[in-house]
Structure 1
């Protein structure tokens, strides 16, 4: 087991190497330890081996993941990760800024847009009992139910079944609705409402 002083020295050496890397830009980390021209950089291997540098880099983590907690209002929607190459998962959505790409369902903090959970659409069959959208909401909200959050979503996700499930889990829901969706009360249908355009 290394002593505290040895750990301090190694971390100082690691940070020094990081600063040196900023002075000479190279494509890959391995290039800084290469022993042939034109990528040769003298001295780095004497401070720390490449393998040790990569091990320290892989375990170094400055963020405390347990501290962050989202605000009360959450947002659930889909987005497209732009991709124009060949892939069986690629989707076309004319309503999105990036029309071609991977469709992703995203749960984020409403005020900051910070992504909390996401799930890529893979074309898998939905659970016959729940339905596709119910399953998506259930998966993305699993860690955030029972904590007093409110989730905002569009009519693609909103249904009475989802609203009841979230309400039972002490989670609020606000969303637009599609009056023709299965389970919606008949009184919400356009023919029943005395509204004009």
Structure 2
């Protein structure tokens, strides 16, 4: 055959070989592309895992939200502005260990007189009778007749206190006794039946709560000497007859009094400007007083000299409830201590 006959065939074969070579290169390039895509996907997954790990680490490192707080007056105590979570278990130190309610002898009281006697029992009244009779006996030389200084007894002291309650009940505590014992139907008949007017004046003038002979000696170290024993016994009765609830309050009150007293206070913001300042620990729900303290300014050097700072006053009043799990509140003068 001539050379001219083979040239077209050679050129066609060469063209076919070129096409096959191009197809192979395309297949290889597609495979490389797919491998590149797989690598990219794997890289993306790896990067995403890394990002998740980083984000999780960031979440672990995120601090809790800042709780807004304010400082108390003492510049130490911190108070949270947010309300505490309510649906949580009560903390151990907030569990009240003594159930609230009436206790002791007061549980058997079924009348008004029985309730009153739970606080002013015969021990307190006999203390008044004993000291009053001692004072009457010391003044016997000033009376011309023996019947004029007749000593008192427990029944008469009870009747005397009852008449004082009766006069206050009728809003006649500031009236002259001549008007209260009037026989023209303008007075109170029960007063005349119980005791004569002259006899009512006698215990009014001579009733005493301590021994007058030793008072000056005791006042050297105690300004509260004339009422110390009686006041202590009454506070003990308050604590024996009732157990306060979960919430108690510390506050002060001004007992109206304008007589002669070295620790009488003047507080213009109170309804009665003049009186004796008394600090009280009171049940916030039942308004029951469980502890009292009389403010006498500065006591003389001795066993009754105490610190009158706010923190010391609160600690003394709350001592009977220490460790019982009660919640104690107070006004702004005591809030930083509580």
TM-score, normalisation: structure 2: 0.28
Structure with greater proportional strand content: 1
Structure with greater proportional helix content: 2
| Structure with greater Cα Rg | 2
TM-score, normalisation: structure 1: 0.47
With CA pairs under 8 Å and 6+ residues apart, which has the higher RCO, 1 or 2? 2
